[in-house]
């Protein structure tokens, strides 16, 4: 009996174990969904674009998140460069009137009115109103900041910086608190001093109702009321920070920085043509069409996927293998060859960044105009172009203007008159004549880690030697920190031309401009004048005058625009070349899938 009982107990416990196991097994099963494919039912299809860097933030306008991929996502989401207007690939500002309109109603004082399309909604269904524009203005203008920053540590010593932004507050900083219309659909900005780039102001950023919620306020209107009640900040007389505005600003500054796809849907609210729907960090970012968007940039495709592929050759093979449809790799002759072998469409063109040689006017060797001219005459610009750019972009030409790139309309006219033709060919004879027996020595600062700059330096060194000019290698991997106050006579590096707008001009060509490392003073008055000139024709006239003046003074020489290359799969059409940071995304609404 006892044996039977033992056996019985044993088998019972065996059954119990089996039962538990079966239970666990059923608990661990799925419902057996048959819906396994990606969404192939919808009509527009999916386009995958390779990007080099991963996404880091839904707010690309902060100093830490101002990166190419974030900007491109921002462009698709409508919070950066695509609400009231966008920039096309010929660097025209194209107004997007389906979203809203803006016009300058007065020149003195400069007054601009923005009116939204009342149909506009955020992707969570809330309407887009003037509250959103006021918030964007408050962020962009730095109106409430009253901080003083310690130059060494970068820490704020007194007062408060509310919204931290990557862009400059210049321009908007002279505006007064905007006037809001009765229907809460339009906003009027009055500038204290005229602002040349007013058309580039795009007053849509983060959704005011979300920012208000995160700051503990009830609605967007309450946020506007709060902003209205606060005085303009004055760094000389800092006051205690407003806690609510500070909370709102902190959310805008860092609340959008993410390391995984947010569980909080508030971060995904967008006013633009697309909304984010997924992100696998380091791999892919997915956006889908925003059903609430009423503007003109409605995409034909249902889904745009950004695929992170850092390596240029890996981008080419991924394109060839059909994993991505559009690539924009770092351009090199090898990449171009590989790309041409894939059978994909290849688009080449100029980028907005350009290399240039600048001479320092405060160095004794360049005090004399003849020496400057002689040195510039020896610079083999065509040879440099042929060795660096032509292999990638066979149509490239030497850049001949300090102000414009060839895509800008005034470029040709300005080049014909600015005197750049004196430097078209290397002129050793002419240089020797100008030097009249002198054998100056020139130290050139450049980035030794950049092979292109090294090539440029060597070409210049070799050519200048023929005219008796000794070019000394002052290159350094630390070149950027040496630009200001380093020990050199000339520098070789790149600027990024915005392609559109004129704020960069004062920055580089005015005497006190932060980018004027050359102590050049010849165009100071004109450069400052450009910033307040509202008449476009007059502006071009001033800029042409500056362009000419700089070649007369032998300021330096622009060399070439960096080449760019896109590879586009045959299954996609509508992609066009664009040289600025938006890259292939600039006309995403024209993309379609051929099938």
How many C-beta atoms lie closer than 10 Å to residue 183's C-beta? 11
Which of 3, 5, 30, 125 contacts other proteins by CB under 8 A?
A: 30
Residue 261 found at the interface with other proteins (CB under 8 A): no
How many C-beta atoms lie closer than 10 Å to residue 355's C-beta? 24
> Residues 299, 301, 306, CA angle at the centre, nearest 5°?
95
Residue 481 found at the interface with other proteins (CB under 8 A): yes
Part of the chain binding other proteins (CB under 8 A), chosen from 1-9, 180-188, 215-223, 321-329: 321-329
Residues 208-247 touching other proteins, rule: CB under 8 A, are none
Choice between 159 and 295, CB closer to other proteins: 159
Which of 43, 260, 263, 485 contacts other proteins by CB under 8 A?
A: 260
Residue 487 found at the interface with other proteins (CB under 8 A): no
Residue 480 found at the interface with other proteins (CB under 8 A): yes
Residue 291 found at the interface with other proteins (CB under 8 A): no
523-560 b/e with 16+ CB inside 10 Å = b? Answer: bbebbbbbbebeeeeebbebbbbbbbbbbebbbbbbbb
Choice between 457 and 479, CB closer to other proteins: 479
534, 540 in Cβ contact below 8 A? no
H or E segment at 208?
helix 208-214
H helix intervals, 441-562: 451-466, 479-482, 503-509, 524-530, 536-552
Minimum CB–partner distance for residue 30 and other proteins (Å): 5
Minimum CB–partner distance for residue 179 and other proteins (Å): 27
- CA nearest 59: which of 172, 161, 205? 205
Which of 42, 106, 176, 259 contacts other proteins by CB under 8 A?
A: 259
Residues 296-315 touching other proteins, rule: CB under 8 A, are 303, 305, 307-311, 313-314
Residues 490-529 touching other proteins, rule: CB under 8 A, are 493-496, 503-504, 506-508, 514-515
Choice between 314 and 422, CB closer to other proteins: 314
Answer left, alpha or beta for residue 255, where phi above 0 means left and psi between -120 and 50 means alpha.
alpha
The DSSP string of 75-93 is HHHTSSS-SSEEE-TT-PE
Choice between 92 and 254, CB closer to other proteins: 254
Residue 168 found at the interface with other proteins (CB under 8 A): yes
Residue 21 found at the interface with other proteins (CB under 8 A): yes
The DSSP string of 142-174 is TTT---EE-TTT--EEES---S--SS--TTGGG
d(CA 446, CA 493) in angstroms, rounded, equals 6
Residue 317 found at the interface with other proteins (CB under 8 A): yes
Burial of 488 (0-12, 13-18, 19+ CB in 10 A): buried
Strands 345-359 and 556-568: antiparallel
Residues 6+ apart with CB under 8 A from 342: 316, 319, 320, 567
Part of the chain binding other proteins (CB under 8 A), chosen from 262-270, 283-291, 532-540, 553-561: 283-291
- Binding characters for other proteins, 134-153, by CB under 8 A (x = yes): ---------------x-xxx
Q: How many residues does the chain have?
A: 595
Choice between 219 and 503, CB closer to other proteins: 503
> Residues 68, 74, 78, CA angle at the centre, nearest 5°?
150
Which of 250, 257, 368, 576 contacts other proteins by CB under 8 A?
A: 257
- Binding characters for other proteins, 33-62, by CB under 8 A (x = yes): x-xxxxxx-----x-x-----x-xx----x
Choice between 43 and 481, CB closer to other proteins: 481
The residue count for binding other proteins (CB under 8 A) is 84
Residue 263 found at the interface with other proteins (CB under 8 A): no
Residue 5 found at the interface with other proteins (CB under 8 A): no
336, 346 in Cβ contact below 8 A? yes
- Binding characters for other proteins, 58-97, by CB under 8 A (x = yes): ----xxxx-x------------------------------
Residue 29: phi, psi to the nearest 5?
Answer: -95, 165
Minimum CB–partner distance for residue 506 and other proteins (Å): 8
Residues 378-437 touching other proteins, rule: CB under 8 A, are none
Question: SS3 for 462?
Answer: helix
Minimum CB–partner distance for residue 253 and other proteins (Å): 9
Minimum CB–partner distance for residue 466 and other proteins (Å): 30
Part of the chain binding other proteins (CB under 8 A), chosen from 17-25, 111-119, 417-425, 556-564: 17-25
Answer left, alpha or beta for residue 468, where phi above 0 means left and psi between -120 and 50 means alpha.
left
Minimum CB–partner distance for residue 90 and other proteins (Å): 22
How many C-beta atoms lie closer than 10 Å to residue 364's C-beta? 10
Part of the chain binding other proteins (CB under 8 A), chosen from 117-125, 165-173, 463-471, 548-556: 165-173
């Amino acid at each position: 009996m006892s044996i039977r009982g033992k056996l019985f107990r044993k088998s019972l416990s065996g059954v119990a174990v089996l039962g538990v196991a079966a239970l666990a097994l059923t608990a661990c099963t799925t419902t057996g969904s048959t819906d396994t494919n990606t969404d192939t039912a919808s009509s527009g299809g999916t386009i995958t674009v390779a990007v080099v860097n991963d996404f880091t933030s839904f707010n690309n306008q902060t100093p830490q998140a101002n990166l190419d991929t974030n900007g491109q996502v921002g462009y698709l989401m409508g919070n950066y460069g695509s609400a009231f207007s966008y920039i096309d690939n010929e660097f025209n500002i194209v107004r997007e009137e389906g979203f809203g309109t803006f016009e300058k109603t007065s020149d003195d004082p400069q007054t601009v009115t923005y009116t939204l399309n009342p149909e506009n909604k955020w992707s969570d269904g809330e309407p887009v109103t003037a509250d959103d524009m006021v918030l964007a203005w408050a962020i962009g203008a730095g109106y409430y900041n009253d901080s003083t920053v310690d130059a060494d540590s970068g820490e704020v010593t007194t007062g408060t910086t509310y919204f931290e932004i990557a862009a400059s507050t210049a321009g908007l900083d002279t505006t007064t608190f905007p006037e809001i219309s009765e229907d809460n659909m339009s906003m009027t900005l009055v500038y204290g001093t005229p602002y040349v780039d007013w058309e580039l102001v795009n007053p849509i950023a983060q959704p005011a109702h979300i920012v208000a919620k995160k700051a503990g306020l009830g609605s967007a209107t309450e946020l506007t009321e709060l902003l209205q009640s606060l005085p303009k900040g004055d760094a000389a007389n800092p006051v205690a920070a407003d806690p609510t505005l500070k909370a709102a600003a902190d959310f805008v500054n860092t609340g959008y920085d993410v390391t995984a796809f947010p569980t909080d849907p508030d971060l995904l609210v967008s006013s633009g043509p697309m909304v984010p729907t997924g992100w696998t960090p380091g791999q892919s970012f997915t956006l889908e069409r925003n059903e609430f968007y009423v503007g003109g940039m409605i995409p034909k495709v249902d889904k745009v996927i950004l695929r992170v592929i850092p390596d240029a050759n890996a981008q080419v093979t991924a394109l060839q293998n059909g994993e991505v449809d559009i690539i924009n790799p770092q351009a090199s002759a090898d990449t171009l060859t590989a790309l041409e072998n894939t059978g994909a469409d290849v688009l080449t063109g100029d980028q907005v960044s350009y290399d240039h040689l600048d001479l320092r006017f405060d160095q004794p060797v360049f005090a004399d105009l003849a020496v400057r001219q002689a040195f510039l005459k020896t610079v083999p610009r065509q040879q440099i172009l042929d060795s660096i750019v032509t292999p990638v972009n066979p149509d490239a030409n030497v850049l001949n203007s300090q102000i414009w790139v060839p895509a800008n309309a005034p470029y040709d006219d300005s080049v014909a008159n600015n005197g750049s033709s004196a430097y078209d060919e290397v002129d050793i004879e002419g240089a020797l004549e100008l030097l009249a027996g002198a054998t100056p020595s020139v130290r050139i600062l450049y980035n030794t880690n950049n092979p292109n700059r090294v090539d440029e330096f060597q070409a210049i060194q070799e050519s200048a030697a023929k005219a008796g000019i000794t070019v000394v290698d002052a290159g350094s991997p630390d070149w950027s920190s040496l630009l200001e106050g380093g020990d050199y006579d000339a520098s070789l590096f790149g600027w990024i031309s915005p392609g559109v707008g004129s704020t960069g001009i004062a920055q580089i060509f005015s005497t006190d401009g932060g980018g004027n490392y050359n102590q050049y003073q010849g165009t100071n008055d004109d450069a400052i004048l450009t910033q307040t000139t509202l008449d476009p024709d007059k502006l071009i006239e001033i800029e042409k005058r500056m362009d000419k003046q700089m070649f007369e003074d032998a300021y330096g020489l622009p060399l070439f625009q960096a080449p760019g290359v896109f590879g586009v799969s045959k299954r996609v059409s509508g992609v066009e070349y664009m040289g600025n940071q938006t890259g292939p995304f600039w006309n995403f609404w024209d993309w379609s899938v051929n099938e």
